[in-house]
C-alpha cells in the first residue's frame, strides 16, 4: 500500500488509509515544523516562564511550579499516571487510527515534542506495532493516548505483527530503545483530541462503505417486493432538494434499471409501505449527516488540539493555555451520525420484516423452503429487531453527558471519545442488520425464481456475489454462521466496484 505523506494536514480518508496498513511518512516541512516547536519549548524552559504542563503540574495542579530538574520526571509521571484505562483492548485498526491522528496533531508544529518521538509513532504504524489500549476510561482523551505512550518509554504491552510482548521487547523488535521524555512531551502524548478524531475517521470509513451497501441491499429488497418506482422518479424527488436523497434516488434507479420484476409490478399498488418508498429519505438523510460529520472530523484533523500550544520563534517564544483539547463540535457531529446510522438500521429491520412476514408479503412465510417444518428467517428478524433496539439506546447523545474531573478544574466535558465509541458500536449492529437483510432478500429472490421475470443486471450481480459462497437456506444448518459470512462478504468488498 502506498505511503500517506503528511505535508500540511491529514483528512479522514488519509487516516482511513493508515488504518488499513499504509505507512505514514512525514514531509520535510512537517519535520521542520516539529523541530521548530521543540526549540520553542526549550526556550520556554530556559526562560523559566510559567507554562502549563511544562514548568507546572497539570489539571488542578496547574499553579504548582515544577523545577527544571523535575520536568523530565513530570513527563514520565504524566504517562504512567494517565495510563489507567480499563476493559477490553481496542482492536488494531482503532489504535492505528488514534496514532495517525496523534502524529497529525503533533506535525502542526505547536506541540513542542521532539522529532524522534513522532518518528517512533510513525515506525509503530509502519512495522505494525500495536500498543495494548484498554477501550474504556477516557472522558475525552488522555487514557487511550497514555497507553500508547507507555510503549514509547518501554512500559506497557504491545503486539508486533500479532505477537504480544512487553513494551520494551516491542521496541527492541523494532530496533529501538525506550525514549526518555523531555519537558512537555508527556503532556503532548496524552493531550489533544487524537483519540476521538482518529476513532471518528475510522467510523467515517466504515459508515461510507455501509451507506453504499445499504442502497444496494435496499434495491434488491425493492425488486423482490415489486416496489412502485414512481416514488423514486427524478422529478418527484427533486421536490425535496436534499443532496443525499437525490443521490440515493439516482442510485436506486440505476441499480434497478432493466428489472423485469419491477416492470411486472408496475401499477400493482397505489403506493408502498414507508419502509420501501422512504428509502431515499432515510438513506439520503444519513448521507447528508455523514457529509457534515466528515467536514467536522477534517476540521478537527486540521486543528491544533494541544494545551498548551506553543508558537512564535525560539528567540521570541509564545505559549498559550486554552481549551482546544475540548471537542464539543466533534462529539455533536459523531452523535448526529450515530442517530442517522441507527435510523438507517431501523428501516432495514422493517424491510426484513416485510420480506419474512406472510401478513404483508406474497412470499413464502418467513422465506422458509418448507414452512411447515422449517422456520426459515423467522428468528433472524428477531435478531435484527434486537440489534435495532440496541442501536436506539446507543443513539442517546454522549455530548450531553456531564462529569467533573480534576478537582473541578476540568468542570465541563464534551465526551467525544464516548460519542465515537457509541457510533462504532452502532455501526457493528448496523452492518449485521443489513447483512441479515442481504441474506434474506437473496433467499426471497431464489423463492420467486420460477417467475419468468428477471432481475436487473446490477441486482443480479449482488445476488450472485452472495450465492457464490452461501447456498439456499433450508433449515439445514445454523443460520447464524450464514449471517456472519454475509457480513464479511459486505465489509471485505466495495459494492460500488461490483
- Measured CA to CA in angstroms, residue 266 lies from 198, 252, 253, 453 at distances of 47, 16, 14, 13
Cis peptide leading into 308, omega within 30 of 0?
A: yes
Q: For the purposes of burial, counting CB atoms within 10 Å of the CB of 161, is it exposed (0-12), middle (13-18) or buried (19 or more)?
A: exposed
How many beta carbons lie within 10 A of that of residue 451, not counting itself?
10
Q: Residue 86 has which C-alpha cell?
A: 480499563
- Measured CA to CA in angstroms, residue 56 lies from 65, 87, 159, 216, 422 at distances of 4, 31, 34, 56, 35
Domain coordinates in residue numbering, the chain:
4-191, 200-497
What's the pTM? 0.95
Residues recognised as catalytic? 52
The CATH code of the domain at 200-497 is: 1.20.200.10
Cβ atoms of 367 and 355 closer than 8 Å: yes
pLDDT by 10s per residue, the chain, length 498: 799 999 999 999 999 999 999 999 999 999 999 999 999 998 988 887 777 777 776 665 555 666 666 677 888 999 999 999 999 999 999 999 999 999 999 999 999 999 999 999 999 999 999 999 999 887 767 899 999 999 999 999 999 999 999 999 999 999 999 999 998 899 999 999 999 999 999 999 999 999 999 999 999 999 999 999 999 999 999 999 999 999 999 999 999 999 999 999 999 999 999 999 999 999 999 999 999 999 999 999 999 999 899 999 999 999 898 889 899 999 999 999 999 999 999 999 999 999 999 999 889 999 999 988 899 999 999 999 999 999 999 999 999 877 777 666 666 788 899 999 999 999 999 999 999 999 999 999 999 866 777 999 999 999 999 999 999 999 999 999 999 999 999 998 999 998
How many beta carbons lie within 10 A of that of residue 234, not counting itself?
10
Class level of CATH domain 4-191: mainly alpha
Cβ atoms of 369 and 359 closer than 8 Å: no
Amino acid at each position: 500500500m502506498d505511503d500517506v505523506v503528511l505535508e500540511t494536514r491529514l483528512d479522514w480518508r488519509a487516516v482511513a488509509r493508515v488504518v488499513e496498513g499504509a505507512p505514514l511518512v512525514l514531509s520535510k516541512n512537517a519535520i521542520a515544523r516539529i523541530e521548530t516547536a521543540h526549540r520553542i519549548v526549550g526556550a520556554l524552559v530556559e526562560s523559566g516562564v510559567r507554562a502549563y504542563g511544562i514548568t507546572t503540574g497539570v489539571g488542578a495542579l496547574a499553579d504548582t511550579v515544577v523545577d527544571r530538574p523535575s520536568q523530565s520526571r513530570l513527563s514520565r509521571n504524566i504517562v504512567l499516571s494517565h495510563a489507567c484505562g480499563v476493559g477490553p483492548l481496542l482492536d488494531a485498526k482503532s489504535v492505528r487510527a488514534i496514532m495517525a491522528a496523534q502524529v497529525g496533531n503533533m506535525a502542526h508544529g505547536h506541540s513542542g515534542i521532539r522529532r524522534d518521538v513522532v518518528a517512533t509513532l510513525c515506525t509503530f504504524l509502519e512495522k505494525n506495532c500495536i500498543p495494548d489500549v484498554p477501550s474504556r476510561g477516557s472522558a475525552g482523551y488522555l487514557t487511550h493516548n497514555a497507553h500508547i505512550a507507555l510503549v514509547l518509554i518501554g512500559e506497557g504491552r504491545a503486539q508486533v505483527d500479532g505477537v504480544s510482548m512487553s513494551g520494551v521487547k516491542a521496541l527492541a523488535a523494532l530496533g529501538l530503545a525506550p525514549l526518555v521524555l523531555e519537558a512537555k512531551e508527556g503532556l503532548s502524548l496524552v493531550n489533544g483530541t487524537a483519540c476521538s478524531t482518529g476513532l471518528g475517521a475510522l467510523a467515517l470509513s466504515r459508515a461510507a462503505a455501509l451507506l453504499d451497501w445499504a442502497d444496494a441491499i435496499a434495491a434488491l429488497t425493492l425488486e423482490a417486493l415489486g416496489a412502485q418506482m414512481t416514488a423514486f422518479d427524478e422529478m418527484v424527488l427533486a421536490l425535496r432538494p436534499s443532496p443525499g436523497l437525490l443521490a440515493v434516488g439516482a442510485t436506486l434507479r440505476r441499480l434497478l434499471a432493466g428489472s423485469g420484476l419491477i416492470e411486472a409490478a408496475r401499477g400493482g399498488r397505489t403506493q408502498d409501505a414507508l419502509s420501501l418508498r422512504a428509502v431515499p429519505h432515510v438513506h439520503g438523510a444519513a448521507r447528508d449527516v455523514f457529509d457534515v460529520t466528515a467536514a467536522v472530523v477534517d476540521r478537527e484533523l486540521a486543528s491544533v488540539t494541544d494545551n498548551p500550544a506553543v508558537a512564535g520563534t525560539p528567540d521570541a517564544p509564545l505559549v498559550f493555555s486554552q481549551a482546544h483539547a475540548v471537542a464539543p463540535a466533534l462529539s455533536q457531529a459523531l452523535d448526529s451520525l450515530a442517530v442517522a446510522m441507527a435510523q438507517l438500521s431501523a428501516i432495514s429491520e422493517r424491510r426484513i420484516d416485510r420480506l419474512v412476514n406472510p401478513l404483508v408479503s406474497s412470499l413464502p412465510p418467513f422465506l422458509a423452503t418448507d414452512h411447515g417444518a422449517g422456520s426459515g428467517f423467522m428468528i433472524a428478524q428477531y435478531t435484527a429487531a434486537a440489534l435495532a433496539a440496541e442501536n436506539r439506546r446507543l443513539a442517546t447523545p454522549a455530548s450531553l453527558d456531564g462529569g467533573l474531573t480534576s478537582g473541578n478544574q476540568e468542570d465541563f466535558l464534551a465526551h467525544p471519545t464516548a460519542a465515537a465509541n457509541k457510533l462504532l458500536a452502532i455501526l457493528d449492529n448496523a452492518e449485521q442488520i443489513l447483512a441479515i437483510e442481504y441474506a434474506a432478500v437473496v433467499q426471497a429472490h431464489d423463492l420467486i425464481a420460477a417467475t419468468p421475470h428477471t432481475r436487473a443486471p446490477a441486482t443480479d450481480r449482488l445476488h450472485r456475489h452472495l450465492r457464490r459462497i452461501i447456498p439456499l437456506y433450508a433449515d439445514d444448518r445454523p443460520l447464524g454462521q450464514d449471517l456472519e459470512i454475509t457480513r464479511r462478504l459486505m465489509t471485505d468488498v466495495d459494492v460500488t466496484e461490483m
